Amino acid sequence: MTSAALRRYDGRTVFIAGAAHGIGRAIAHRLAAEGAALVIADMDSEGADAVVAELAGSEALAVHCDVRDRESVRAGVAAAVDRFGGFGVLVTNAYSASSVPFEDLTDEDWNRDLDPTLNGAVRTIQAAIPHLIASPYGGAVVSIGSVNGLAAFGGLAYSAAKAGLVNVTRNLAVMYGGKGVRFNVVAPGTVRTRVWTDRGPERLAFVEQAKRHYPLGRVGEPEDIAAAVAFLGSDDAAWITGVALPVDGGIMTGPLMQMFGTDPI
């Protein structure tokens, strides 16, 4: 069944934090195709407006939301509630990722990645939680993590933030399960977004070279992640909470076998 045939989000509103580009934009398009009303929240207001324009025919609202600023988050949530009366699904996708070597990391470097990636998700969930609890359909939070939060793939500050997001998710799943709110993480591997494709030939070459490490023979596309988010935020996942789901082309299971072959090590 294609996404166009699924209507799991009819009558439901979804707030997407970090929706102007890449994975967040693909999530918006997927959920719109499934009938959702959407809040396109991003610190890039022009990018958010552009996504709303792309979703012509769907009910969508662009709001400015900088997850590093608690008041900005509160204002974005308030605007969503004012327009739609509330929302039952939250997707947290805002992040920062740098490549400063560990021995050179300053407090500023560390916080530059940690604050939007982990603290920003927490701020957004805090602002959203009363509305998720109040949702007549039950609430769901799907956070975009990374395989970097599950294993050692470098990018220490970013990876630590994504690992923290998994732990926060599991704790919140226990804390709010009795109130009808589910919390899950989608953990992508390498995904073909502007982070790789718009920053010079070296990064683009890395994406091409990375294919050989993936058992499925390719890197991910934003739509791969959007499909997993659409599932976890829907009633099809009504008995799933506290999970970190790798959507990674098999990278978490494949490298050792590729290195050593099929014989036991």
3-state secondary structure the chain: CCHHHCCCCCCCEEEEECCCCHHHHHHHHHHHHCCCEEEEEECCHHHHHHHHHHCCCCCEEEEECCCCCHHHHHHHHHHHHHHHCCCCEEEECCCCCCCCCHHHCCHHHHHHHHHHHHHHHHHHHHHHHHHHHHCCCCEEEEEECCHHHCCCCCCHHHHHHHHHHHHHHHHHHHHHHHHCEEEEEEEECCECCHHHHCCCHHHHHHHHHHHHHCCCCCCECHHHHHHHHHHHCCHHHCCCCCEEEEECCCCCCCHHHHHHCCCCC
**Catalytic residue list contains 158:** yes
**pLDDT at 204 (0 to 100):** 76
pLDDT tens for 212-259 read 889 999 999 999 999 999 999 999 999 999 999 999 999 998 665 555
**Catalytic residue list contains 179:** no
- Pick 25 or 6 by higher pLDDT: 25
Question: Of 9, 95, 137, 162, which is the active-site residue?
Answer: 162
**pLDDT at 243 (0 to 100):** 98
pLDDT tens for 28-84 read 999 999 999 999 999 999 999 999 999 999 999 999 999 999 999 999 999 999 999
Q: What is the CA radius of gyration of the chain?
A: 18
**pLDDT at 265 (0 to 100):** 42
Superfamily for the 3-245 domain: NAD(P)-binding Rossmann-like Domain (3.40.50.720)
- Each domain of the chain, given as residue ranges in start order, spans 3-245
pLDDT tens for 161-205 read 999 999 999 999 999 999 999 999 999 999 998 877 666 777 778
| pLDDT exceeds 70 at position 4 | no
* pTM of the predicted protein model: 0.93
Question: Of 9, 95, 137, 158, which is the active-site residue?
Answer: 158
